[in-house]
Amino acid sequence: MTIEQFAKDFPVVSRFCYLNTAASGLISEGIMEWRQNHDIDFLIGGSKFRLTADQTLNSVRTDIATYFNSSSKEVFLTPNFTFALKTLVSGMDKSNSVLLLQDDYPSLSFPFYSSGLKVHNLEITADLEDRILQEFKDNTPDVFAFSLVQYISGIKLDINFINSLKKQYPQVLFIADATQYSGTEMFSFKDSGIDIFGGSGYKWLLSGYGNAYLLVKEEFQEKFYSNTLDLEPLEQPFLQSKSHLQLHLEAGHLDTLNFGSLGFSLRQFTAIGQEVIQNHIAQVSAYAKEQFLSLGLLDGTIVKRTAKHSNIFNLQISDKQAQLLSERNIVFSKRGTGVRLSFHLYNTKKDVDKVVKVLRSSQK
C-alpha cells in the first residue's frame, strides 16, 4: 500500500484541508470496518467473545514491540498516556529530583508536581540542548521527563542528543512523552537512551481514542511500587500471570476494541513502511517551514534553532487571518499565542500551498 492509496481511506481529507492531527488524528475506513466486525463478534458471541481477549491483547503487545523495536515484556497497555504516567509516578521514590521543560504538556508535568517530588523547570530556548547539558552538569537530576515534540511550538529534541546524554549520565531515569512523536519517525526503544517511552494512539498513530502504550525497560520495572513486591504474584488464577507493573498499569479489564484499533493501525503503518512515512512527513514539513519562514510567521525561537524541526508549526497570525483559514476549510487549533498547524502522511505540499496562498493574500 502506498501513502497516496492510504490517504484515500480518510474521508475527512476529501472534505477539508486537515492540519490538526496534533489535536486529533483521523481514523481510516479500514479501522472502522475492523471495529464493526469486532462488535458484531461481541454481539453474537457475548462472554464467549472475551475468551480470546488475552490472545488479542498479547497480539497488540507484540505489534507495539515490533513497531518500536522493544521486547513484549517491556510493553504495557493503558487507556491513555496521562493515566499511565500518573500511575507510574505515584509509585516512584519521592526523594527523587526531577527536571522538566517549562510549559511542557500539562499531562507530563502535573504528575510530578502533584506527587510532591522536587521539580526544576528549564526554559525552552533556541539553544535548548546546550542548556539541558549545562543543567545536567550543574544540577544532575534523578529523573529527566520531557516531550520529544513540544505540543505548542513543535520544537523537537534530537534523539541522538538524548542518546548521548544518557551515555554521559546513565544513572538518570529518562522519561519521554512520545504522543506528538510516535508515528512520524522511525524509533528503536532498544537502541535509545530513553528508559520509559509512551504515548496515546489517537494522534499520529491514527488509532482512535482509549488506547495508549508505555514501554519500560526491564531493569527499571521493579523500581516502581517496590513496596508491593512481597505481595506478588496475586493468588487469584486470573491475576497470577500479571507481572509486577501490569498489576498497577493494567489494573482491571482492557478493551479489545480500542487496543485492537491500535494494533490494526500499527500493522497498516508497517505495511506502508515506517521509513516511507518518515520521509514523506519530513519532506512536507521542510517545505512548510521554508514557506512559513519566508512569510515571517514563525516565532524567533524557531527561527534561531539549528536543530531539525518537527511537523508541528505555530504561526503568529491575527484572529482575522485565522478566520480566513477557517473560511477556506483549513482545520487547525489555536495554541499558545498563535495558530497550530500539523502535517501527517495524508497531507501534501498542496496543503502547505493552500495555507500560504490565504496568508500571503491577507498580508497585502
H/E element, 295: none
State mean pLDDT over 292-299. 95
CATH code at 179? 3.40.640.10
Helix (H, G, I), strand (E, B) or coil at 9: coil
pLDDT, tens digit, 9 for 90 and up, residues 118-150: 999 999 999 999 999 999 999 999 999 999 999
My answer on whether 280 and 263 are in the same domain is: no
Residue 4 has pLDDT above 80, yes or no: yes
Number of domains in the chain: 2
- Do 228 and 330 fall into the same domain? no
pLDDT at 363: 74
Q: 147 near 104, Cβ under 8 Å?
A: yes
- Are 341 and 194 members of one domain? no
Q: Which of 247, 271, 295 is the last residue of a domain?
A: 271
| For residue 85, pLDDT beyond 80 | yes
Whole-number pLDDT of residue 231: 59
- Supply φ then ψ for residue 190, to 5 degrees: -60, -40
Q: What is the pLDDT of residue 55?
A: 93
Under the banding of pLDDT at 50, 70 and 90, the label for residue 43 is very high
In angstroms, the CA 68 to CA 62 distance is: 10
C-alpha cell at 86: 500518573
pLDDT reported for residue 219: 93
**End residue of a domain, out of 271, 305, 333:** 271
All cell numbers assigned to 58? 498479547
Summary mean pLDDT of the chain: 94
Grid coordinates in use for 114?
502533584
How many angstroms separate the CA atoms of 116 and 67, rounded? 35
Res 227: pLDDT:
74
Q: pTM of the prediction?
A: 0.95
Q: Which of 239, 271, 303 is the last residue of a domain?
A: 271
pLDDT tens digits along 211-246:
999 999 999 998 888 776 555 565 565 555 667 888
Same domain, 124 and 188: yes
Q: Are residues 213 and 291 in the same domain?
A: no
Residues 266, 227: Cα–Cα separation, whole Å: 35
The pLDDT value given to residue 230: 58
Whether the CB-CB separation of 212 and 183 falls below 8 Å is answered with no
Residues 267 and 285 in one domain: no
Same domain, 16 and 72: no
115 half-sphere exposure, CB direction, 13 A CA radius: 22
CA dist list (Å): 306 to 130, 220, 293, 303: 12, 34, 14, 8
Lowest-pLDDT choice from 70-74, 215-219, 249-253, 302-306: 249-253
- 238 plus 168 within the same structural domain: yes
The reply to whether 255 and 313 lie within a common domain is no
- What CATH number does the domain containing 9 carry? 3.90.1150.10
- pLDDT score, position 248: 86
- Amino acid in the structure at residue 274: Q
Residues 152 and 190 in one domain: yes
The three cell numbers of residue 128 are: 535548548
The span from the CA of 352 to the CA of 343, in Å, is: 9
Q: Confidence class of residue 247 from pLDDT cuts 50, 70 and 90?
A: confident
Give residue 7's domain range. Answer: 3-27+274-363
Report the candidate in 290, 302, 304 with the shortest Cα–Cα distance to residue 352. Answer: 290
Considering the domain architecture, whether residues 44 and 190 belong to the same structural domain is answered as: yes
User: Percent of the chain, pLDDT > 90?
Assistant: 88
Same domain, 167 and 253: yes
User: Which residue intervals of 239-312 are DSSP H helices?
Assistant: 246-249, 256-272, 274-294, 300-304
Q: Provide the pLDDT for residue 236.
A: 60
